[in-house]
Structure 1
Amino acid sequence: MSLLQPIKPPRKARIGLYSVGLRAYWDQFPGLRERLEGYGKFIEGRLSGWADVFNFGLVDTEGEGRRAGEWLNLRDVDLVFCHAATYSTSATVLPVHQINKAPVVFLNLQPTERINYEATTTGEWLAHCGACPVPEFANAFNRAGIPFRVVNGLLGLAATPAGSLTNEITHEREEAIRAWLEIRAWAQAAAVPRTLRHSRFGFLGNTYSGMLDMYSDFTMIQAQTGMHVEVLEMCDLDRQLQSVTADEVARKLAEVREMFEISGDSPSDPIARRPTDEQLEWSCRVAAAQEKLVREYDLDALAYYYHGAPGGAYEKLQGGFIVGHSLLTARGIPCSGEGDLKTAVAMKICDILGTGGSFSEIVVTDYVDGTILLGHDGPFHIAIAEGKPILRGMGLYHGKQGTGVSVEAKVAPGPVTTLNVTQTGDGRLKLISGEGESTDGPIMRIGNTQTPVRFREHPDAYLTRWFAEAPTHHCALSVGHNAALFEKVGQLLQVRHARL
């Protein structure tokens, strides 16, 4: 079994699909209906690689539209693609979405890059005029107060179907590639609300006292995302700790030695030293208890913080948190420190989309390299690390109580995107994302995660725009340029998205 195998894989989106046409055409132009249904089957096949697809087939009257809406309701779809296969009246399409309330995306995917002007018949033209009804759909939906999106481009066939009078091999054209990248992004984004609606986020302990940006209204978060917040106590974790066996500790220690490099003393910081055998054993014992807690309460993510009374048992217990929470984060259970529930949501969004999502804040600006270092004292998303993360024994956790083992690591160089989940003054969640490049620049050797990120403008200009959006001071650091994907997530969650 891979050490990065998810404990709870994200749910696939349930995608509805139907094609539209005009019933009067079928007797007038034999073979047209079957040809359009073939295009719909092609779309279904490609979508099936990213989601569970429910294809109603052809909708060609308003009565069939009503039946399609009821049919899609029974399939509990998260998103509907309406394939504009040929001309159809808006009265045919509108009832589908007056009955089924899932978000809708119109697909204007022309089968050919250019019709055969000399040989084309009316029936042939009708197989290629998918754009024709889309303005009518847009007008009707706007007046009905139903949001919609449109993907324009080429269908992307790899072979021309029998009976076609023109070339329909378009899969290598940029217009097809671009369209299918956007369709795939919609299918991926639709998995986020479905997974969140079925998620249980643990909240262990409390929020770091005085961090006003991070205080959360659990009811507000459930109302806007559908996720449940399970409030946990340190005694719940301590109960799990008492049941950990020597074999379980040994297995965790083997995981740790495979996934981390055990450091020597930091050459610069006297509080960051080689972890002692006792520190490693304790971190592994706590890590085994943390995984037991996740499994008992069926958690999908965890926000945590606890300082405990000086010298108390819970102070020692929380001192062992970072290693185990990094292991959980790498296996699809994002863990955010300091009780930051909103950043746990950001990390979970990134994880559902397969883009990582490491717990981060602004560390320092490097004006020589033009980068902003993003990181924290843990946990770290091991799956997106450059090489093996380093474990260092910490004589103290700055700003917190206790001692233990911390993670020193950086995200691999390449495209990255930050994602904040913040809360506005009127109580609404808000997404903020910014794209940049992680670099191979230097980092401090102090037992903290740090990734130098070069954004698309001077650090001061970027920070000015970032701060103006009133973010929380934590964010999730994801791999890839994902702002357009996060924007789709925001639309499907009905949450505002700001792109820096």
Structure 2
Amino acid sequence: MNTKAYSKPRVGLYSTGLAAYWAQFPSLHDRLVSYNEFIAEKMGQWGEVYNFGLVDTVDKGIEAGKYFNEHNVDIIFLHAATYATSATVLPIHQRCQAKVVMLNLQPSDRVNYEKTSTGEWLAHCNACPVPEFANAFHRAGIPYKVISGLLGLEKTPAVSVANETTCNRPEAIRAWKEISEWIRAAQVKNTLSESRFGFLGNTYSGMLDMYSDFTMLQAQAGIQLEVLEMCDLDALLKTVTEEDVARKEAEVREMFTISGDSPAEKLAKKPTAEELEWSCRVAAAQEKLVGKFHLNALTYYYHGADGNAYEQLQSGFIVGHSLLTANSVPCAGEGDLKTNLAMKICDILGVGGSFSEIVTTDYIDGTILLGHDGPFHLEISEGKPILRGMGVYHGKRGSGISVEAKVKSGPVTMLGVTQTVDGRLKLIISEGESTKGTIMQIGNTQTPVKFSVDPDTYFERWFEEAPTHHCAMSIGHNAALMKKVAELMNLEYVIL
């Protein structure tokens, strides 16, 4: 199974101008167009850009609003190229409701004071109209964001008398980092709106934090939900061939280390040939389930009567669900749909998203151990994950193969999705460092994480946000990026 390449978001772009300027300063129009085209080309590495060009009259603004609606853009960047009246830009955003981010990007690090003419100055007065635009948007009830900095050209245009080679200036680097993050955030919203989450089985009984309103999740996150039964998977299991099993076993042996007996846990043994064959057979059926129902994520859990054939089926879940998670179909256990959403957000951003919960605290190292009994995001593993045969799935029925692994050392970000008392989704975001600390050899995923505060302070801050007891672990420090996802999707958030 190949990792899915997510579609680029649809990015709207236009630059501002004033029609009266063009006859007065003949070279200004083409100069601003060149800046606009530079921005469009650079944005193209992250998104599918729909560039309207210059908006310099009210009629052009009306036309631009219709243009962006026709192309169903996910976000609009307003490039303040020079002064323009707010009456030219407001009609755009009254017609197209996509999030607007204003770009106050000056071409030069400073004007050439001795040689600057009025026409030259107008190419550098980017900040001039921004407060007027902001005022109009605010009074019209249109939310907006602003990015200020340098344009970041690699070469000064011949028409300029100032230094416009600013690509290495920190003001340009920071601005373009912000722009790229907004486009990546737009990709999350775009992809979620086209994503189908499967819900297989039920939610672990008694875990009140797990229960979710499917309609609420679709309304606020844009996802589609497909309720699945164990009989759907069982029917596909019957179609699995020996060739399917062999293919899965080859995939498993390439991605995992097959363990010996654990020196610490007598229940954790070297997987038997029968256990490995069963996990591979179930993994092949899980892949077929994803294909049949066109799933982009899967939330699962099953607890049935003693001796139920489906109990044996679910005992083989962890390996296949880990393989799916590594292939852009994140899988969340215990029926935790909200954490599945967190995992999907991380996966779309390309930063992993492994199913985790707080395990224990190392007060000597000052770290908190986070992990679970599976599944695991194999793409962010420190080395090859280990497969162990588990005599018991603690707190659950059955036995089988489990994954023991650690997220790679370095910066990480925890993303929790919870639900507020008034039924709103809320993102809880915190950055930390995955350390090289020791983990237990008990067939579970575990990662020791050091946060900026001591463990007890961190616990108190995290718990006071009323989280679910699961979260998604991603690699990198992604708080600024995840904040933009929340803002673009109109979700509550907190950064600890």
Normalised to the residue count of structure 2, the TM-score between the two structures is: 0.99
> CA offset at residue 407 of structure 1?
0.2
Partner of 2:238: 242
Provide the residue aligned with 1:268 in structure 2.
264
Moved beyond 6 Å, runs of 4+: none
Residue 97 of structure 1 corresponds to: 93
Aligned partners of 1:11, 1:194: CA distance in 2, in Å?
Answer: 8
Structure 1 position 150 matched with structure 2 position 146? yes
Give the drift of 1:310.
Answer: 2.0
Kindly state the Cα deviation for residue 137 of structure 1 after the two structures are TM-superposed.
0.7
Deviation at 1:12, TM superposition (A): 1.4
What does 1:273-288 correspond to in 2, within 5 Å?
273-288=269-284
The yes-or-no answer on 1:348 pairing with 2:344 is yes
Note the C-alpha offset of 1:63. Answer: 1.3
1:13 paired residue among 4, 9, 13: 9
Candidates 189, 192, 196, aligned match of 1:196: 192
Percent identity among equivalent residues?
A: 68
Q: Deviations over 1:435-460 (max 9, x none)?
A: 00000000000000000000010111
Q: Could you report, residue by residue, the CA deviation over 1:209-259 in whole angstroms, capped at 9, with x for unpaired residues?
A: 000001010011001111111000000000010000001100000000000
In structure 2, C-alpha distance between the alignment counterparts of 1:459 and 1:138, rounded to whole Å: 42
Matches within 5 A, 1:64-463: 64-463=60-459
CA distance, structure 2, for counterparts of residue 343 and residue 187 of structure 1: 23
Aligned equivalents of 2:452 and 2:87: distance in 1?
A: 46
* DSSP 3-state at the match of 1:315: helix
- Identify the residue that residue 479 of structure 1 maps to in structure 2: 475
Q: Deviation per CA, 1:144-194, whole angstroms, max 9, x where unpaired?
A: 110000000000000011211111000000000000000000000001111
What residue identity is the alignment partner of 2:167? H
Q: How many pairs align?
A: 496
Equivalent AA in structure 2 for residue 89 of structure 1: T
Letter of the aligned partner of 1:479 in structure 2?
I
Secondary structure of 1:92 counterpart = helix
Amino acid of the structure 2 residue aligned with 1:137: F
Shift in Å, 1:312: 2.0
**Superimposed CA distance per residue, residues 8-61 of structure 1 (whole angstroms, 9 cap, x where no aligned partner):** 432311000000011110000011010000000000001000010000000001
Looking at structure 2, the residues matched to 463 and 162 of structure 1 have their Cα atoms a distance apart, in angstroms, of 58
- Give the whole-Å Cα distance in 2 for the aligned partners of 1:276 and 1:312: 22
Secondary structure class of the residue paired with 2:453: coil
CA distance in 1 between counterparts of 2:491 and 2:102 reads: 21
Q: C-alpha distance in 2, partners of 1:284/1:310?
A: 24
Structure 2 unaligned residues grouped into runs of 5+: none
Q: In the aligned structure 2, how far is the partner of 1:266 from the partner of 1:309?
A: 30
Shift of 1:65: 0.5
Give the whole-Å Cα distance in 2 for the aligned partners of 1:489 and 1:436: 19
The one-letter code of the counterpart of 2:188 is V
| SS of alignment partner, residue 387 of structure 1 | coil
**What CA distance in whole angstroms lies between the structure 2 residues aligned with 1:173 and 1:39?**
17
Determine whether 1:63 maps to 2:55. no
Q: Secondary structure at the match of 1:19?
A: strand
Matched residue of 1:453: which SS? strand
TM, length-normalised to structure 1: 0.99
The aligned amino acid for 1:449 is T
Determine helix, strand or coil for the equivalent of 2:346. Answer: helix
